[in-house]
């Protein structure tokens, strides 16, 4: 039993590293709409912390527009915690893969991004 | 000296007389006599040169300078047309409304109503565009205008992927209109719609019970692999945590996993919808290029300008 604990910690550690270095979690606060200041929920706090602290340290790596953290903030704001959380997970799974070949490109500054806002993922059940 | 003084006096006299007899304006050079026709012609030339905002200003000047002229209604209509051509849909709609309010039974009322619907469409107010066209189809006595209203309404429904509604509206057109707008070919193309390649959102969601299978069904192979690995890894980690009596860790991982599992199902359903929407848009664009009759809105053209395209 004692031998198994380090294995779990290794798996978890690898998972956290994979998530942290997945294309979706790179971010930059200067691009895309900011997470609204009036949001005071725990998720908004976590996203603000991520945008202002983690993202500034490791730079933007997300190739989607809006970036995954902004997308997440918008999804939480628009649909509440449960749907926002599900949409965030969906976006993290899709970020930087097949969406590149499906969605249109958008140029922001000198960079090209894949345009994938919340309304392109909830149009089939939510009115703007 | 006396002689010089005498000549100066005579010169001054003639100078005074000439200044008194001829008005100052003549002395200043040419004058421009702007009459109503010239003003309208100038505004039209600005429009033809695609200086739409200047043209709108000149049409407004015409309305201000010649408020009782017989072509004031035309100028009011063309103000809206200028804004429409300039891409200022909201101002165009406002101008057409103003024109319709002032001249409800005027010569340009039908055209103003048509263009107003175009403005609504450009600003993505499809409901208002359809209402405007419906009103026009009811009010107008002109069969051609009614046909055009139905034709535009039908294409609006096609743009919204409401094929049956479009067919119903096209069926209301006159026989001549159906021929002019090549509706037989369009109706045949609309009947082909069910053959269009579609993905079932329900099936995608059901398949997503096995993580990644829903994405796979929608042709998203990379997303499918990532969904399978992430969900598989998290389920395994949660299982290992609980079997090692690490309940707090197991709960956190389970919470995260529930999100990713639900996200995988949600994403699969959304992917099917996106796939269908993309196909629909491509098909509509194909139809538009192949079969849509262009309806011109240049002020110098009265009525409808038809241009047909044939795909060989």
What one-character-per-residue DSSP string does B124-166 give?
Answer: T-HHHHHHHHHHHHHH---HHHHHHHHHHHHHHHHHTT-HHHH
Q: Which two tokens stand for residue A73?
A: 């903030």
Interface probe with B: pick from A89, A91, A119, A124, most Cβ of B within 10 Å: A89
pLDDT band for position A44 (cuts 50, 70, 90): confident
Q: How large is the average pLDDT for residues B225-249?
A: 95
The predicted structure's pLDDT at residue B307? 47
Answer yes or no: is pLDDT of B234 > 70: yes
Given a contact cutoff of 8 angstroms between Cβ atoms, the answer to whether B205 and B267 are in contact is no
The predicted structure's pLDDT at residue A34? 46
**CB contacts, 8 Å: B259 with chain A:** 85-86, 88-89
Q: Please name the residues in contact with B102: beta carbons below 8 A apart, sequence gap of 6 or more.
A: B73, B76
The predicted structure's pLDDT at residue B264? 96
Is residue A7 situated within a structural domain? no
Is residue A102 situated within a structural domain? yes
Test B266 with A102 for CB contact under 8 angstroms: no
The predicted structure's pLDDT at residue A32? 45
Classify domain B38-195 by CATH number: 1.25.40.10
> Which residue in the set A4, A91, A92 is minimally distant from B240, CB to CB?
A4
Answer yes or no: is pLDDT of B25 > 70: no
Closest Cα to residue B71, out of B107, B113, B109?
B107
The predicted structure's pLDDT at residue A28? 42
Answer yes or no: is pLDDT of B192 > 50: yes
The predicted structure's pLDDT at residue A30? 41
The per-residue pLDDT for range B50-108, each reduced to its tens digit, is 999 999 999 999 999 999 999 999 999 999 999 999 999 999 999 999 999 999 888 99
Element (H, E) at A26: none
Q: How large is the average pLDDT for residues A13-28?
A: 52
Test A8 with B260 for CB contact under 8 angstroms: no
Answer yes or no: is pLDDT of B235 > 50: yes
Is residue A98 situated within a structural domain? yes
The predicted structure's pLDDT at residue B283? 86
Answer yes or no: is pLDDT of A47 > 80: no
Is residue A41 situated within a structural domain? yes
Residue B225: how many other CB atoms lie within 10 Å: 15
Answer yes or no: is pLDDT of A27 > 60: no
Test A93 with B246 for CB contact under 8 angstroms: no
The predicted structure's pLDDT at residue B299? 44
Closest Cα to residue B117, out of B105, B279, B139?
B139
Q: How large is the average pLDDT for residues B276-284?
A: 88
The predicted structure's pLDDT at residue B28? 52
Give the strand pairing for A64-65 and A111-115.
parallel
The per-residue pLDDT for range A69-97, each reduced to its tens digit, is 899 999 999 999 999 999 999 999 999 88
Is residue A88 situated within a structural domain? yes
Q: Work out how many domains chain A is built from and give that number.
A: 1
For A79-98, letters b (16+ CB in 10 Å) and e give beeebbbbbbbbbbbbbbbb
The per-residue pLDDT for range B116-138, each reduced to its tens digit, is 999 999 999 999 999 999 999 99
B127 to chain A, any CB pair closer than 8 A? The answer is no
> Mean pLDDT over all residues of chain A?
75
pLDDT higher for B111 or B301? B111
Euclidean distance between CA atoms B261 and B172, whole angstroms: 50
Residue A58 sits in which domain range?
A: 24-120
The predicted structure's pLDDT at residue A33? 46
**What is the predicted ipTM?**
0.72
Question: At A64, is the secondary structure helix, strand, or coil?
Answer: strand
Is residue A126 situated within a structural domain? no
Answer yes or no: is pLDDT of A31 > 60: no
> Mean pLDDT over all residues of chain B?
86
Least confident of A2-16, A107-121, B81-95, B209-223: A2-16
Phi-psi region of B245 (alpha: psi -120 to 50; beta: other; left: phi over 0): left
């Amino acid at each position: 039993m004692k031998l198994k604990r380090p294995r779990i910690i290794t798996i978890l550690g690898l998972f956290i590293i994979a998530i942290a270095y997945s294309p979706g979690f790179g971010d930059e606060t200067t691009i895309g709409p900011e997470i609204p200041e009036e949001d005071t929920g725990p998720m908004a706090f976590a996203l603000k912390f991520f945008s202002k602290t983690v993202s500034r340290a490791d730079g933007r790596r997300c190739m989607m527009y809006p970036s995954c953290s902004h997308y997440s903030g918008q999804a939480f704001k628009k649909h509440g915690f449960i749907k926002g959380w599900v949409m965030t997970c969906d976006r993290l799974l899709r970020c930087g893969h097949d969406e590149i070949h499906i969605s249109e490109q958008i140029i922001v500054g000198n960079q090209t991004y894949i345009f994938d806002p919340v309304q392109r993922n909830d149009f089939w059940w939510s009115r703007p | 000296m006396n002689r010089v003084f005498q000549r100066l006096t005579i010169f001054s006299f003639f100078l005074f007389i000439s200044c008194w007899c001829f008005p100052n304006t003549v002395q200043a050079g040419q004058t421009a006599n702007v009459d109503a026709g010239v003003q309208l012609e100038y505004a039209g030339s600005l429009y033809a040169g695609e200086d739409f905002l200047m043209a709108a200003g000149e049409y407004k000047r015409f309305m201000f300078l010649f408020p009782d002229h017989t072509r004031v209604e035309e100028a009011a209509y063309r103000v809206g047309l200028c804004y429409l051509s300039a891409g200022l849909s909201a101002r165009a709609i406002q101008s057409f409304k103003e024109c319709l309010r002032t001249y409800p039974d005027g010569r340009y009322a039908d055209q103003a109503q048509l263009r107003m619907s175009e403005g609504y469409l450009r600003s993505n107010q499809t409901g208002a565009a359809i209402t405007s066209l419906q009103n026009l189809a009811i009010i107008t006595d002109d069969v051609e205008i009614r046909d055009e209203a139905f034709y535009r309404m039908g294409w609006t429904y096609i743009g919204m992927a409401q094929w049956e509604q479009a067919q119903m509206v096209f069926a209301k057109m006159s026989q001549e209109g159906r021929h002019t707008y090549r509706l037989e070919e369009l109706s045949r193309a609309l009947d082909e719609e069910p053959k269009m390649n579609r993905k079932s959102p329900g099936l995608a969601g059901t398949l997503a019970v096995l993580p990644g299978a829903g994405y796979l069904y929608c042709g998203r192979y990379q997303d499918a692999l990532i969904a399978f690995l992430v969900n598989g890894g998290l389920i395994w980690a949660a299982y290992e945590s609980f079997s090692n009596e690490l309940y707090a860790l197991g709960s956190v991982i389970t919470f995260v996993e529930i999100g990713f599992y639900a996200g995988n199902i949600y994403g699969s359903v959304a992917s099917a919808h996106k796939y269908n929407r993309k196909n629909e848009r491509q098909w509509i664009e194909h139809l538009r290029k192949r079969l849509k009759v262009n309806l011109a809105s240049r002020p110098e053209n009265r009525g409808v300008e038809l241009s047909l395209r044939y795909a060989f």
